[in-house]
Amino acid sequence: MDKKQVNDTGGFGTRRVSGGTRKKTFARRDVSAAKAGSRSEDQNKKRRRRGSGIRAAAVIAAATVFCVVLIFMTPLFNITEVRVEGNNVVELQTIKEKIGDVIGSNLFSLRRRVIENRLLEISQIRGVAVKKKLIPPSLTITIEESRPAAYLLSGGSVIVVDPDLIVIDDSGHYNTDILPSVSGIGVPSYTLNSRLTTDSAEREEILEELLKALEKDKLLDKVTYISVDDLSDIRFNYDNRLEVICGSRLELARKLRMLRESLGSGSISDNSIGTMDLSLPGQAVYTP
In the chain, how many domains are there? 3
**Average pLDDT estimate for 154-175:** 93
How far is Cα 139 from Cα 110, in angstroms, rounded to an integer? 10
Instruction: Specify whether 154 is located in the same domain as 280.
Output: yes
CATH number at residue 110: 3.10.20.310
**Average pLDDT estimate for 241-245:** 96
Instruction: Specify whether 155 is located in the same domain as 277.
Output: yes
Can you give the length of the chain in residues? 288
Instruction: Specify whether 130 is located in the same domain as 94.
Output: yes
Pairing mode of beta strands 13-16, 5-7: antiparallel
Q: What is the pLDDT of residues 180-231, one digit of tens each?
A: 999 999 999 999 999 998 999 999 999 999 999 999 999 999 999 999 999 9
**Average pLDDT estimate for 120-135:** 94
Q: Is residue 68 part of a domain?
A: yes
Least confident interval from 51-65, 136-150, 188-202, 247-261: 51-65
Identify the domain containing residue 245 by its residue range: 150-287
Helix crossing, 92-99 with 112-119: angle to 10°?
130
Instruction: Specify whether 125 is located in the same domain as 233.
Output: no
Instruction: Specify whether 37 is located in the same domain as 124.
Output: no
Instruction: Specify whether 157 is located in the same domain as 276.
Output: yes
Long-range contacts of 101-104 (CB under 8 A, 24+ apart): 102/139, 103/79, 104/75, 104/78, 104/79
Instruction: Specify whether 282 is located in the same domain as 209.
Output: yes
Burial label, 116 (beta-carbon count in 10 A; 0-12, 13-18, 19+): middle
Q: Is residue 213 part of a domain?
A: yes
Instruction: Specify whether 31 is located in the same domain as 137.
Output: no
Instruction: Specify whether 130 is located in the same domain as 244.
Output: no
**Which whole-number Å values give the CA distances from 223 to 35, 144, 177, 214, in the listed order?**
99, 23, 11, 9
Q: Does residue 112 carry a pLDDT above 90?
A: yes
Task: Evaluate the omega torsion of the peptide bond into residue 148 and state whether it is cis, within 30 degrees of 0.
Answer: no
Beta-strand (E) ranges in the chain?
5-7, 13-16, 22-25, 81-85, 125-133, 138-145, 150-154, 157-161, 167-169, 181-183, 223-227, 234-238, 242-247, 274-277, 285-287
Instruction: Specify whether 135 is located in the same domain as 173.
Output: no
Q: Is residue 219 part of a domain?
A: yes
Instruction: Specify whether 85 is located in the same domain as 116.
Output: yes
How far is Cα 13 from Cα 235, in angstroms, rounded to an integer? 121
Instruction: Specify whether 53 is located in the same domain as 177.
Output: no
Closest CA to 95 of 70, 65, 116, 73: 116
* Contact by Cβ (8 Å): 236, 223: yes
Q: How confident is the model at residue 281 (pLDDT cuts 50, 70, 90)?
A: confident
CATH number at residue 202: 3.40.50
Residue-wise burial string across 120-138, b where 16 or more C-beta atoms lie within 10 A, e elsewhere: eebbbbbebebeeeeeebb
Burial label, 192 (beta-carbon count in 10 A; 0-12, 13-18, 19+): middle
> Three-class SS of residue 207?
helix
What's the mean per-residue pLDDT of the chain?
84
Pairing mode of beta strands 223-227, 181-183: parallel
